[in-house]
Structure 1
Amino acid sequence: MFKKVLIAEDKDFINFGVRSELEKIGVAEIQYVQYCDEALLKLKSAQLNNAPFDLLISDLSFDQDHNTQKITSGDALIKEVRSAFPELKIAVFSVEDKAYTIQTLFNEYKINAYVWKGREGLRELKRAIQLIEQSNRIYISPELSGHIATDNAVEITAYDIFLIECLSQGLLQGQISEKLKELGKSPSSVSAVEKRLKFLKEHFNATNPAHLVAMSKDLGLI
């Protein structure tokens, strides 16, 4: 079982529940932080002291207060952590259920588990931790399992999100092309933008750009 676990969670009552489940499965050392900056600092400090953490459990949403933070969200924290600690196992425990967010966390940041804070959330978290400790398999709550793209599924990329956000701002395809060029993003040609937007409309069965934007908002993509 994991010997040393860090919990990044700003709600005391949730932290108490998570710690209780970790104690039940024999985790020897459990530390807790309420801020993302502090979480990254603790991980780095432990590594320098040759006493690294085995697992990070993080929420995605952190309330802002008078303490100014450089890292203000769990997904931003996970991005930093994965860059600095490529082998560290990471479990997300969150109410967030947007498919794009979950796919990004698994595909880009290589998290090991995503547990939804539902009615059985704490029990699921315990099962998830036991699974990822014993194997290289991933865990995702059954309610969200459909959010993981299969081999034949279409993955919506950051580029696609950018295009849809531009549409939501009322930009035309030529203007989107110019904006892509300004930002150094590719492909940036008008024909490439037109082709991808046509594909997205067909994929979402949207009748026009406004309909595509509306559907993307409903799905939580933008």
Structure 2
Amino acid sequence: MKNKKQLSFLIVEDHDCVSKSIVETLKEQPDFIPEIRVATDADHALKLIKEKPPEIVFLDLVLKPAIKGVLTDGDDLLRELNKLFYRPKVIVMSKIDRLDMLDYVINQLNADSYILKSRNSLDEIIPAVEKVMEGENYFSPSVTKILKHQENLLEMDTTDIFILKKLSRGLIQSEIEAALLENDIYLTVSAIEKRIRKLKMRFDAKTTIHLIALACQNGII
């Protein structure tokens, strides 16, 4: 029998019924053995992460702050995680569907996935885990739809096309960064990743390979 992979999780959620549902969903799947910890506020979560970094964090954006705590909400925690040498994959689970917040959390704070809380959100947990462990992103269909139709966020420019062409030639983000610099365009690896994420949303691409194929089909590269 094939040995199951162990995966470590931290659930940051202040509603007990929600965190228990996530725990049950993770334990019921057959493909990996989950090691699960739970925190109900951002300060406690950051302490646990620094003590023993998990591979994946499930994060609610709206949290009750700890007494005498420094961090007030989930986005505060995400900002702190971005400062760490080892940053876990972050799957946001939230009811917030405002465009400004979605753009901020996904494109500025670099959340790896965003599941919009609904009656079907538990069904999205395992697909999201699988995606982030493959180095890809997962977004609820409704999240993708909201962002996809915002032309101000998703319009393409010559830099986007340059990035697509380099991706089609097999370059990784650091190599694309160097290629852009040779053309007097300075973008960090993080900024390049944000552009790739927006392009995936624009084309409704599931993976980077899928994005390249769709760009070719549309005559862009």
TM > 0.5 fold call: yes
Runs of 5+ unmatched residues, structure 1: 47-51, 157-222
Is 1:41 paired with 2:40? no
Is 1:17 paired with 2:18? no
Matched letter for residue 63 of structure 1: K
- Conservation of the 8 A alpha-carbon contact between 1:91 and 1:112: yes
Matched letter for residue 30 of structure 1: I
> C-alpha distance in 2, partners of 1:61/1:146?
22
Is 1:100 paired with 2:100? yes
Matched letter for residue 115 of structure 2: V
Matched letter for residue 16 of structure 2: D
Task: Sort the Cα spacing of 1:85 and 1:101 in 2 relative to 1 into closer, same or farther, 3 A.
Answer: farther
Task: Sort the Cα spacing of 1:85 and 1:10 in 2 relative to 1 into closer, same or farther, 3 A.
Answer: farther
- Conservation of the 8 A alpha-carbon contact between 1:2 and 1:55: no
Corresponding residue number in structure 2 for 1:140: 139
Corresponding residue number in structure 2 for 1:83: 83
Q: How does 1:51-66 map to 2 (within 5 A)?
A: 52-64=53-65
Q: Which structure has the bigger radius of gyration?
A: 1
Task: Sort the Cα spacing of 1:28 and 1:125 in 2 relative to 1 into closer, same or farther, 3 A.
Answer: closer
Matched letter for residue 59 of structure 1: D
Greater alpha carbon shift after TM alignment, 7-16 vs 141-150: 141-150
> C-alpha distance in 2, partners of 1:148/1:85?
30
Runs of 5+ unmatched residues, structure 2: 155-221
Displacement after TM superposition at 1:24 (Å)? 2.0
- Conservation of the 8 A alpha-carbon contact between 2:65 and 2:73: no
Q: Secondary structure at the match of 1:107?
A: helix
> C-alpha distance in 2, partners of 1:78/1:27?
25
Is 1:153 paired with 2:151? yes
> C-alpha distance in 1, partners of 2:70/2:145?
33
TM-score normalised by length of structure 2: 0.61
Displacement after TM superposition at 1:87 (Å)? 4.0
- Conservation of the 8 A alpha-carbon contact between 1:5 and 1:53: yes
> C-alpha distance in 1, partners of 2:85/2:18?
25
> C-alpha distance in 2, partners of 1:108/1:32?
25
- Conservation of the 8 A alpha-carbon contact between 2:147 and 2:153: no
Q: Secondary structure at the match of 2:153?
A: coil
> C-alpha distance in 1, partners of 2:87/2:77?
15
TM-score normalised by length of structure 1: 0.61
Superposed CA RMSD: 2.1
Displacement after TM superposition at 1:59 (Å)? 0.2
Corresponding residue number in structure 2 for 1:7: 11
- Conservation of the 8 A alpha-carbon contact between 1:37 and 1:70: yes
Identity %: 24
